[in-house]
Structures are given as structure tokens and as C-alpha cells.
Amino acid sequence: MTDSLDLGHILVVDDSLDTLEVLQRNLTSKNYQVLTASSVAEAINLLENRHIDLIITDIKMPGSNGFDLLRHVRENLRDIEIFVITGFPALDDAVRAVKIGAEEYLVKPFTDEELFGAVDRALEKLRLRRKTESSQKISTAYGLIGESKAMADVYRAIGKAAATSATVLIQGESGTGKELVARAIHYSSKRASAPFVPVNCGSIPEELLESELFGHVRGAFTGATGARAGFFQTADKGTILLDEVSEASLSMQVKLLRVLQNQEIFMLGSSRPVRVDVRITAATNKDLFALIQKGLFREDLFYRLNVVTIWVPPLRERGDDIVLLVNNFVNKFSHEFGRPVPRVSYEALRILSDYPWPGNVRELENVVQRLVAMTEGDIIEVPDLPSLMRFSALRAMDLSRTLSEVETEYVQRVLNSVGGNKTAAAKILGIDRKTLREKLKNRPVPH
């Protein structure tokens, strides 16, 4: 359960008082808030007056039945999940329930594990949907998006760093947004009206880096027909970001150390120092301690850079921020491509959330850009995802289950994702409708 989204309020509807008592006791033991109703009319009355996240309802009851409640909820209450239970299993009832909008179909008697698994899946779907909707209200600060604890720590660190003129070392894996953090520091500081100058030390050839950073005078080298200011002079009164600072050569590290110590530079070809007033930030995805041990990075430069350290977390440690980022990028690229904003299905969003993202936010942005560009329909579904992600999701499944159990769950999830539409489900599964009907008919019945 996710407290921030206020999940965990469950309504159980069944005409059997014994069933109500057992389900209430079991669910309460897992810290869910449980209400019970012995009829559809009583359930509807509770829904009008109480906050409910999930409904668990029997199908066959005197008077109005579970199908009537399902239909009422789907027509009048959008932000509730619902699944059905029955002691009289029938394939037609299962298909009908899913088609109306049930998330699960449990046959009595079911185990506690089956019950809790169904509840967890339903609430997880609700949580992702609410997070998706809340992402439309998220404001971005210099491109930074996220509400996770890990990002809250980054925001606090940015605020503290922006209030000082101290040098900042930003560390994190490739693609995590280190430059965005540096920009946020600059534009939140007193230097915001002056330039922010990012320099990628790894992308500029060694023989050009000194001239690019410090500038050169006329005649400093062949082709230097006039003086030219470097990045440090361009950033005067502002902030410079030395991105991939670990890629700088040892000789360049000496020159950077001198800038940090004296706040002055020497233009290439000149022996006269030039004073600069620049706030220095540096970023790296490398372990600088390890480079120091190998003699590849100067220890004295490290301590000069490492006055304030900000660690930017990898995407896999940011939880629901992935949902916020996915929806932000979907909206961004839909606008850029001039096409309607597609919806991301629950199953696709779940796979995107579970994927480890070795390329972090940059990789996620590229994937979403491709999805928006290439998806033909108005929904981004599991088959639209890169094959690597689909296979990664399969590898993460519980390997203790039988092939039949895994297949049954997957077929049901696909069917749920398309609202019970067997034609659409068969297309996604790569089988015909007849084969799908056979699989539904022959699936194992829970005990």
C-alpha cells in the first residue's frame, strides 16, 4: 500500500455473513480498512458516503447481484477497483465480469495467498492510475521531475548549495540528470541572471580543451588570428559546469586546481593572469576515489571540488517517479509530434516501472519518444514496448510456478488490459479467438 495515495480502504459485499466475517478478519490482519455489506443496496449506500479504493463482491446474491454492482460502479465511480468472487464458477460469468470491468475473478474456496495477491494487484493498478493522474499536476523545476524520497533529498541539497558560493561535485550514473541539478543550483542562486556554461570535458579533444576553457591570445597557435575568450570568461559572474571532469588529463587537472585556488586563469599563449568570478560545479559518473588510487585523478583537486556533494539517484531507486516521467514524456513528445496524447496501459506501465533502466532518465526519455512516434493506436500496450523490456519482465517472474500457471496469469492480465475484448487480447497474444477460448476454458481453477 502507498500511504501518499491513501490506498487500502476495502468494501466486501456478500450475502453470506460467514464470508464477510472471514474476509474482514483476513484483510484487517494486513492493515486494510475494511467495510462490509450484505446486499448491493447497502453497498451503494456505503459508496455514497465513504471513501473506498477496492470492492470485493460476490456475484450471486438475492435481488440485485454482483453484476449490477459492477455496472453501477463502472458507470458512476471512476476511481475504484473491483473484483468478483463466486462459489459457482462459470466461464461465461468470468468473461462477463471482466467485460463489465472486474479486475479479478476468484472462485471459492480460495486461499489467503490468492486473496491477498488479487488485492495487491488491484490496488497496484489503482495506485499507478492515481499516480498517472497526479503527474498531470506536477510542476517541473529546471527539468527535474520526481516526488520520491531520493529526489526530495536532491531538492534539499540543491537548496542548500544554491544559498552558498561553494564548489559542488555532482555524482551519479550516466543519464540521471546531473546537468539538470547543476542548472537548478545556478538558477536558484544569486548568480541566476548571469550565464550558466556547461562544458563536457570528455567530448573536447585534449589539445583543444585548454583553449576552450581558458581562451587564447592572437598567435597562440597556428590559425589563432585573434584573441578569443574561453568558457570561464563566458561564465564570469555565473556558473560553469565541468561535466565528466574525471576525463580531464592530469595536466589539465593542475590548471583547474589553480583556477579553484586563485580564481584566475591564463589564456593560452599569455603569461598574464585574468581574474574570473565563477561558481564551479563539476559532475562525474566515475568513482573518483578509485581513480585517485590508480593515479588518474589528483587528490588535491578532488578535495577542492568536493566541498558540497550531491548524489543523483539512479532511476531504479526512484520508485513511482518513473510513472511521473513516463507521462511527462508522453505529453511532451505528443505535443512535439502534433498527435493526440496516447494512454499507457496498466500492464505496459507496470513493465516500464519494473525495468531496471541502466541508461536511467535519458534511456527512458528515448524509449517513450520512440513509443509515441511508432505506436499507431491511442493506447501504448505491452507489445509496443521494446522486446528487451518484455523479456526482462518475464525473467523477473516467480520461477517456482508451473508453465500453465504463468500462462494463465498472463492471458488474464492481457484480457484485463483490453477490457475483456477477446479479439484484441488474441491479437496481443498472437493467437486466434478459438485458441483463446480454449485457454480460458482449460485454465486451472484455484483451490
**Residues 46-85: pLDDT tens digits?**
998 888 999 999 888 888 888 888 888 888 887 888 888 8
pLDDT confidence bin for 144, thresholds 50/70/90: confident
User: For residue 242, which phi and psi values (nearest 5 degrees)?
Assistant: -95, 85
Please compute the mean of the pLDDT values over residues 212-237 and round it to a whole number: 84
Residue 304 confidence (pLDDT) above 70:
yes
- Region of 350 please: left (phi>0), alpha (psi -120 to 50) or beta: alpha
**117 burial via Cβ count (<10 Å: 0-12, 13-18, 19+):** middle
Contact 283, 170 (CB under 8 A): yes
pLDDT confidence bin for 445, thresholds 50/70/90: very low
pLDDT at 4: 39
Residue 446 confidence (pLDDT) above 70:
no
Residue 113 confidence (pLDDT) above 80:
yes
CATH architecture assigned to 3-135:
3-Layer(aba) Sandwich (3.40)
For the chain, give the percent of residues with pLDDT over 90. Answer: 48
Tell me if 149-312 shares its fold with 317-442.
no
Contact 86, 57 (CB under 8 A): no
Opening angle at CA 114, ends 132 and 56, nearest 5: 60
- Cell 459485499 locates to 13
**Four-way CATH pick for 317-442: 1.10.8.60, 1.10.10.10, 3.40.50.10800, 3.90.1140.10:** 1.10.8.60
Please compute the mean of the pLDDT values over residues 265-282 and round it to a whole number: 90
Q: What is the CATH number of domain 149-312?
A: 3.40.50.300
pLDDT at 330: 94
pLDDT at 105: 74
200-215, pLDDT tens digit by residue? 998 898 888 988 999 8
Residue 1 confidence (pLDDT) above 70:
no
pLDDT at 2: 38
Contact 343, 379 (CB under 8 A): yes
pLDDT confidence bin for 108, thresholds 50/70/90: confident
Higher pLDDT, 433 or 39: 39
Residue 408 confidence (pLDDT) above 80:
no
Higher pLDDT, 398 or 268: 268
Please compute the mean of the pLDDT values over residues 100-112 and round it to a whole number: 77
Residue 177 confidence (pLDDT) above 80:
yes
User: For residue 279, which phi and psi values (nearest 5 degrees)?
Assistant: -85, 125
pLDDT at 111: 87
Domain boundaries, the chain: 3-135, 149-312, 317-442
Residue 138 confidence (pLDDT) above 60:
no
Please compute the mean of the pLDDT values over residues 401-426 and round it to a whole number: 69
Query: What is each CA distance from 308 to 162, 169, 243, 282, in whole angstroms?
Result: 11, 6, 16, 10
Candidate from 124-128, 187-191, 379-383, 393-397 with smallest mean pLDDT: 393-397
Report the interhelical angle of 346-354 vs 112-135 (nearest 10°): 90
Who contacts 135 (Cβ-Cβ below 8 Å, separation ≥6)? 323, 324, 327, 328
Report the interhelical angle of 422-429 vs 403-417 (nearest 10°): 130
Contact 251, 302 (CB under 8 A): no
Opening angle at CA 252, ends 248 and 258, nearest 5: 125
355-395, pLDDT tens digit by residue? 889 899 999 999 999 999 998 889 999 889 987 787 665 55
Largest Cα span, the chain: 97
22-40, pLDDT tens digit by residue? 999 999 999 899 999 999 9
The whole-chain average pLDDT of the chain stands at 85
CA–CA dist 128, 135 (Å, integer): 10
Residue 249 confidence (pLDDT) above 70:
yes
In the chain, what is the straight-line distance between the N-terminal and C-terminal CA atoms, in Å? 26
**Of the candidates 309, 314, 333, the residue with the CA atom closest to the CA atom of residue 146:** 314
User: For residue 70, which phi and psi values (nearest 5 degrees)?
Assistant: -55, -50
Please compute the mean of the pLDDT values over residues 433-437 and round it to a whole number: 80
CA–CA dist 200, 195 (Å, integer): 16
**Of the candidates 374, 230, 253, the residue with the CA atom closest to the CA atom of residue 305:** 253
pLDDT at 387: 79
